[in-house]
């Protein structure tokens, strides 16, 4: 079983719709969760992080965390073509993992006009 | 200054060359990281420095040698690389020492390395 799994893509949504990206993780002691956006040929850009159960909103982005279900998601409201990118879920494990992030394989999102 | 910078942007080297990648941040961050990313794959951690000391080496071959001269600078020295080492090399930094649980990592733009 992969340590961090993301919903298989690619995901295609029309402009203005809500894009929903999902991620599950296996380490129950994981404490911090990150979403990165990566455009083709560019480096990952941190767009959201969440540490506590519940929702965290930042502009059009909402991260949701449910530690009991070991599930974290990212919602993008009013999707724009500029949101088209690969989205990487990253999880920092519990214990003395000394900052090691485990990444999911990424979900490719395409927002079409 | 709120970014991580990396030089060079692109590097082409032969298998017998010695070269270095440089990473710099002036945000006062206390942990710095080297990652390798192959096409269509997520980043893979190589090394972690926390408070200028090497805290993680993910069993990286010795042809890659990291160095942290000071709290703002991180180098990756390359020697006798193989063609399969061609990849995007990413540097990242985080505000607190790497042992902290709540510690966002911010990536630089990367160096695209090609080994001939």
pLDDT digits (tens, 9 = 90+) for A58-112: 999 999 999 999 999 999 999 999 999 999 999 997 665 667 899 999 999 999 9
Hey, is the C-beta of B108 within 8 angstroms of any chain A C-beta? yes
Residue A70 confidence (pLDDT): 96
Nearest residue of A to residue B34 by CA position?
Answer: A100
Q: Does A35 touch chain B (CB under 8 A)?
A: no
What average pLDDT does the segment A26-38 reach? 93
Q: Do A99 and B88 touch (CB under 8 A)?
A: no
A3, A28, A32: which is closest to A92 by C-alpha?
A32
Closest Cα of chain A to B70: distance in Å? 19
Q: pLDDT value at position A66?
A: 97
Nearest to B24 by CA among B2, B53, B45, B43: B2
Q: Do B102 and A106 touch (CB under 8 A)?
A: no
- The pLDDT score that the predictor gives to residue B110 is 98
Residue A94: the pLDDT is 67
A40-70 per-position pLDDT tens digit: 999 999 999 999 999 999 999 999 999 999 9
Burial class (CB in 10 A: 0-12, 13-18, 19+), B70: exposed
pLDDT at B34: 97
- Chain A contact for B98, CB < 8 A? yes
List all residues 6 or more positions away from B30 whose beta carbon is below 8 Å from its beta carbon.
B50, B51, B71, B94, B95, B96, B97
- Residues B67 and B50: their CA atoms lie apart, in Å, by 12
CA distance B26 to A22: 34
pLDDT of residue A2: 64
- Short-list A69, A41, A15, CA closest to B109: A41
Touching check for A3 and chain B: CB below 8 Å?
no
The tokens for A87 are 């989205």
The beta-carbon neighbor of A99 closest among B41, B48, B109 is B48
The Cα–Cα gap between A105 and A9 comes to 10
Band (A8; pLDDT cuts 50, 70, 90): confident
Instruction: Return the residue in B33, B41, B105, B112 with the most chain A beta carbons within 10 A, the one to mutate for interface testing.
Output: B105
Provide the pLDDT for residue A97: 61
Helices (H), B12-106: none
Q: Please tell me the predicted confidence (pLDDT) of residue A93.
A: 78
pLDDT at B2: 67
Does A43 touch chain B if contact means CB atoms closer than 8 Å? yes
Tens-binned pLDDT, residue by residue, of chain B (116 aa): 669 999 999 999 999 999 999 999 999 999 999 999 999 999 999 999 999 999 988 899 999 999 999 999 999 999 999 999 999 999 999 998 887 777 899 999 999 999 99
Selecting from B55, B106, B108 the residue whose C-beta is nearest the C-beta of A46 gives B106
Chain position carrying tokens 């042992």: B99
Of the candidates B66, B34, B71, the one whose C-alpha atom is nearest the C-alpha of residue B51 is B71
Which of B33, B42, B107 is most worth mutating to test chain A (most A CB atoms within 10 A of its CB)? Answer: B42
Band of residue A1 on the pLDDT scale cut at 50, 70, 90? low
| Residue from B39, B111, B43, B42 nearest B75 by CA | B111
Both tokens of B115, joined, read 């080994």
């Amino acid at each position: 079983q992969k340590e961090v799994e993301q919903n298989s893509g690619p995901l295609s949504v029309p402009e203005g719709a809500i894009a929903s990206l999902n991620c599950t993780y296996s380490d129950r002691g994981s404490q911090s969760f990150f979403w990165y956006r990566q455009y083709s040929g560019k480096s990952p850009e941190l767009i959201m992080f969440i540490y506590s159960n519940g929702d965290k909103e930042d502009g059009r982005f909402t991260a949701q965390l449910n530690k009991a279900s070991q599930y974290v998601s990212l919602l993008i409201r009013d999707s724009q073509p500029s949101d088209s990118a690969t989205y990487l879920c990253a999880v920092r494990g519990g214990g003395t993992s000394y900052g090691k992030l485990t990444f999911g394989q990424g979900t490719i999102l395409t927002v079409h006009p | 200054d709120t970014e991580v910078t990396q030089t060079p942007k692109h590097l082409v080297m032969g298998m017998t060359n010695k070269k270095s990648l440089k990473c710099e941040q002036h945000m006062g961050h206390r942990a710095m990281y080297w990652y390798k990313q192959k096409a269509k794959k997520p980043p893979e951690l190589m090394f972690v420095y926390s408070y200028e000391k090497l805290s993680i080496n993910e069993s990286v071959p010795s042809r890659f040698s990291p160095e942290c001269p000071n709290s703002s600078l991180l180098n990756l020295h390359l020697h006798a690389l193989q063609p399969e080492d061609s990849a995007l090399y990413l540097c990242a930094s985080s505000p607190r020492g790497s042992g902290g649980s709540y510690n966002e990592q911010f990536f630089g733009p990367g160096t695209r390395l090609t080994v001939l």
